[in-house]
Amino acid sequence: MSTIAPAPVPAALAPRAVPAASADDARPRTYVVRTLGCQMNVHDSEHMAGMLEEAGYTRASADDEASNRADVVVINTCAVRENAATRLYGNLGQLASVKAARPGMQIAVGGCLAQKDRGTIVEKAPWVDVVFGTHNLDALPVLLERARHNEAAQVEIAESLQVFPSTLPTKRESVYAGWVSISVGCNNTCTFCIVPHLRGKERDRRPGEVLAEVGALVEAGAIEVTLLGQNVNSYGVEFGDRGAFAKLLRACGTIDGLERVRFTSPHPAAFTDDVIAAMAETPNVMPQLHMPLQSGSDRILRAMRRSYRSERFLGILDRVRAVMPDAAITTDIIVGFPGETEEDFAETMRVVEASRFSSAFMFQYSPRPGTPAATMDEQLPKEVVQERFERLQALQERIAGEESARQVGRTIDVLVGEGAGRKDGATHRVTGRAPDNRLVHLALPEDVVPGVPDDAASAGAGTPGSVDPRLADDLDARLPRPGDVVTVEVTRSAPHHLIADSALADGGTFAVRRTRSGDAWATRERARLGGGDDDHGHGHGGGAASGPVVLGLPTVRA
């Protein structure tokens, strides 16, 4: 582990000593974690929140979070895209004046960009108190205490994994759905990617430990779990079982109460038919697949050091759809990789047209210092990359619209979420996810009062039942809570969401199924409101069980 000494700091913005409690000693110090980046970062942020709460901090209220009044602000960074640093320093710049006016406030920066930039963060933003990396998440509470005690910034970056993240306390964001890491790190050497350098070589958890965490989540109220790994298909190689991922999917199918299983992300080079069979034959594994393409040109794939070719990629999609015809497949694509010609780009357009992705995360190539691609010849002009990006975007938008239109008339089960759609308050719809992970906005019967945030806010204070109709003792059987499942018919579509207004039609399809997740959500919300805590509905995970999920450190079999 290396410790980097901080640069001199102006007195007005220097980390300063603060008491262990807040200025008001009657209350514990509050925190907020801001997440930039991928699902891995989201899950890491849940670990950061869990460690802070175990150390005695409490999550800042919604009002305090919006007004930057938290005692501790943690920014969990991403380093995959070129604008990662811009986003971080934009956040830090906004917090500089806030901290100057609030003695005792602390700012911590963690995650991939912290691992990459190390001591330069404090050099550029000397008001930061703590910098920690991807390999030592567990150090956060100690570093905050040390920064207070020493009245100086603490920068600590571990060169290798210190504690497996899944053994850390975890404050779950959702009661009905949870992330479970099956591995950390990556053994691939893609020339555009800095992740292996920042997160290290792949480390696999043993299946029993993964299944124990999944079981604990289900026991706490979750009915959906997403298995996480930089390359889930290589899971098991570390402990000598190349078929471990397919076996893990099938094992998840035996867990009572687990209704939806998802995973991300696979790698086309390692995607095998036993995984396709496990997906098709395990009822709770959802008909959804995120399969990163990156480029449709075999020449560019070689330059990217992606060990598959376009025909193999398309063959995987064909085999998946042969056994799961309605599977929704999403992807990642990079436009403008060094040396990409118009012919190479045309190949990407061809493969995208053939793949029929339901959605795609498309990126303009940006050089990441420390990667082989950053020093390659033939870096493309910005205007060329932009023009190709817009052409690809238009193609995918058309395909996504056509694929969404194919869903109209289908009857689907929607798992209702906590977050509302942008117009849900006005339309009296609620929002959730279909089995294939498509976003669905669904209408309630006209005489049902929805429990979306706008309605809850206008209902007035008082008992939990008066604040939110979803918490009423005489809950309307037609009003779903987050975590409940609603059966509806898709009536309209758009490229990025579906509309299901069948409840408004005479005799239209609409049925609410109460779930343990909905019960856990209601239990959490009643406790929150009854205790006077002003956290918003996304705050506390873990369902009815309030404690963190803590599992033993996995071992590697000799």
Please state the residue numbers annotated as binding site.
38, 78, 112, 186, 190, 193
Residues 6+ apart with CB under 8 A from 233: 245, 266, 267, 270, 271, 272, 275
Query: What tokens were used for 84?
Result: 């990662």
Cβ pair 331, 362 in contact under 8 A = no
Q: What is the full DSSP assignment across 138-201?
A: GGHHHHHHHHHHHTS-EEEE-SS-SS-GGGS----S-SSEEEEESEES-----TT--HHHHH-S
Binding-site residues for [4Fe-4S] cluster, please?
Answer: 38, 78, 112, 186, 190, 193
Cβ pair 486, 480 in contact under 8 A = yes
Could you identify the residue written with the tokens 């239990």? 523
Query: What tokens were used for 200?
Result: 């290290």
455 SS3 class: helix
**Strand (E) or helix (H) holding 330:** strand 328-335
How many angstroms separate the CA atoms of 190 and 230, rounded? 12
Q: What is the full DSSP assignment across 398-425?
A: HHHHHHHHTTTT-EEEEEE-SSPPTTHH
Residues 6+ apart with CB under 8 A from 359: 330, 396, 400, 495, 496
Query: What tokens were used for 244?
Result: 């471990």
434 SS3 class: coil
Residues 6+ apart with CB under 8 A from 406: none
Could you identify the residue written with the tokens 């995984």? 275
How many CB atoms within 10 Å of residue 273? 12
Terminal-to-terminal C-alpha distance of the chain: 26
**Strand (E) or helix (H) holding 311:** helix 310-323
